[in-house]
């Protein structure tokens, strides 16, 4: 496991083919006490840096020469030795169709490259905690737009949803629309703690890494229809 698991310091790798982006993001993270263990200019360097330094979070650009960020993400998350690592995809456009492929490869969320320093730091810490979905409304729009256009197969077979209780299915449907835990609690008249428990059980039963994967699965399984109401079912 990375040091950030046992201590307060979060450790990150920054992968982007633009040196100025790497330097700028590195300075922002370092100023907030986040340790940048390595920088990478392409996907192959990113994979090597992760295996060498074992960070908690990777900021991964999609469009890089040689191995792109999607393949790098897939290879990193396939490595058992890296532990519970999280990948945040960096993109120029909030509806870049490459982002959907990256999410199906296992990325935990994405950020626009013009993100504010405060949002960048908060995003890294949130993804590291595994407790929040980054930019849920944007992620939802992206998935709705590209879920049935992406030619690449998902990273793993669709999970069977039959093991979920009716309440868990309801939570998953609403989660897939981009609602936060607080919004879920308000909609379902439940406490935030109860909602968090439901979400945790859903992730455990479906063997998912985080909420982003749950959203992707909800669309890929047909539980939610892109552009349709939250209560649409198969």
3-class SS letters over 83-107: CCCEEEEEECCCCCHHHHHHHHCCC
Give 208-225 pLDDT, tens digit per residue.
878 878 888 887 788 877
- What pLDDT score was predicted for residue 138? 60
- Whether pLDDT at 155 is above 90: no
Residue 170's φ and ψ, nearest 5 degrees, are -65, -45
Identify the residue whose tokens are 């990948």.
87
Per cent of the chain over pLDDT 90 is 46
Determine whether 19 is exposed, middle or buried from the number of CB atoms within 10 Å of its CB (0-12, 13-18, 19+).
exposed
pLDDT for position 131: 55
**pLDDT mean over 139-150:** 59
Q: Which DSSP helix (H) or strand (E) runs through 11? A: strand 11-15
Task: Return the pLDDT at 172.
Answer: 93
Contact 39, 50 (CB under 8 A): no
pLDDT at 137 over 60: no
Cβ(125)–Cβ(35) below 8 Å: no
Q: What is the pLDDT of residues 82-116, one digit of tens each?
A: 888 999 988 876 555 676 777 778 888 888 888 89
Q: What is the mean pLDDT of the chain?
A: 81
Residue 87 backbone dihedrals phi, psi, to 5 degrees:
-115, 125
Q: At residue 179, does pLDDT exceed 50?
A: yes
- Report whether 67 contacts 42 (CB < 8 A): yes
Over residues 76-83, the mean pLDDT reads: 86
Residue 119 has pLDDT above 60, yes or no: yes
pTM for this one?
0.72
Q: Where are the alpha helices (DSSP H) in the chain?
A: 3-6, 19-31, 43-53, 69-77, 97-104, 117-129, 136-146, 166-175, 181-188, 192-205, 211-220
pLDDT of residue 61: 93
d(CA 201, CA 37): 33
Encode 45-62 in three state secondary structure: HHHHHHHHHCCCEEEEEC
- Beta strands 86-91 and 11-15 are unpaired
* 102 vs 203 pLDDT, higher one: 203
Residue-wise pLDDT for 41-72, tens only, equals 999 999 999 999 999 999 999 889 999 999 99
Q: How confident is the model at residue 145, as a pLDDT? A: 64
């Amino acid at each position: 496991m990375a040091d950030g698991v046992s201590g307060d310091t979060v450790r990150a790798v920054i992968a982007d083919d633009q040196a100025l982006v790497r330097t700028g993001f590195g300075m922002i993270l370092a100023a907030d006490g986040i340790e940048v263990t390595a920088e990478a200019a392409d996907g192959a360097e990113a994979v090597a840096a992760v295996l060498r330094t074992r960070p908690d979070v990777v900021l991964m650009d999609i469009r890089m020469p040689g191995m792109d960020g999607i393949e790098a993400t897939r290879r990193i998350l396939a490595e058992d030795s890296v532990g519970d690592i999280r990948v945040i995809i960096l993109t120029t456009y909030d509806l870049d169709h490459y982002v959907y492929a990256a999410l199906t490869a296992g990325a935990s969320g994405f950020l626009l490259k013009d993100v504010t320093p405060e949002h960048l730091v908060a995003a890294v810490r949130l993804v590291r905690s595994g407790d929040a979905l980054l930019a849920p409304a944007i992620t939802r729009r992206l998935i709705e737009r590209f879920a049935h256009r992406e030619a690449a197969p998902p990273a793993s077979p669709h999970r069977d949803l039959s093991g979920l209780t009716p309440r868990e299915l309801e939570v998953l449907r609403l989660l897939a629309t981009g609602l936060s835990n607080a919004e879920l609690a308000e909609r379902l008249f439940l406490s935030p703690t109860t909602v968090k428990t439901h979400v945790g059980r859903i992730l455990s039963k479906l063997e998912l890494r985080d909420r982003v994967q749950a959203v992707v699965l909800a669309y890929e399984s047909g539980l939610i229809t892109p552009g349709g109401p939250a209560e649409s079912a198969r």
